[in-house]
Amino acid sequence: MACEHPRVLHVGGKTSDMCNITWPDDTESDGYVPSGLGIGGGDYLNLSICIDCKVVLGLASPEDIAKVMEAEAAEEAERQARMAEQRAQRAQKGW
């Protein structure tokens, strides 16, 4: 969203892979800040907020947020499958 107001609050932070997001469908993800949301990416959270409009500037569209949400869910499913496979291998070896 574009804004003509001069009063913008800039917020930045380093999450060190400890970012927690609650998605619109109430699922959660933990880890890095997802790229593509307009709020930063990786270890960094970067927000620009118009004080007059009370909106986050540069926030991704609902469609783009849905795409990122789907990608995050797929990545989490893959991670869970890898962990289950590792547990099965350890159990088979008697660990």
pLDDT in tens, 23-59: 999 988 889 999 999 999 999 999 999 999 999 999 9
Could you tell me how far CA 55 lies from the centroid of its own chain? 18
Q: Is residue 33 part of a domain?
A: yes
This prediction's pTM: 0.72
Range of the domain at 40: 8-93
Q: Is residue 22 part of a domain?
A: yes
Based on the structure, what is the number of domains in the chain? Answer: 1
Q: Is residue 2 part of a domain?
A: no
| Predicted pLDDT at 4 | 81
What is the end-to-end Cα distance of the chain in Å, rounded?
A: 54
**CB 95, CB 57: distance < 8 Å:** no
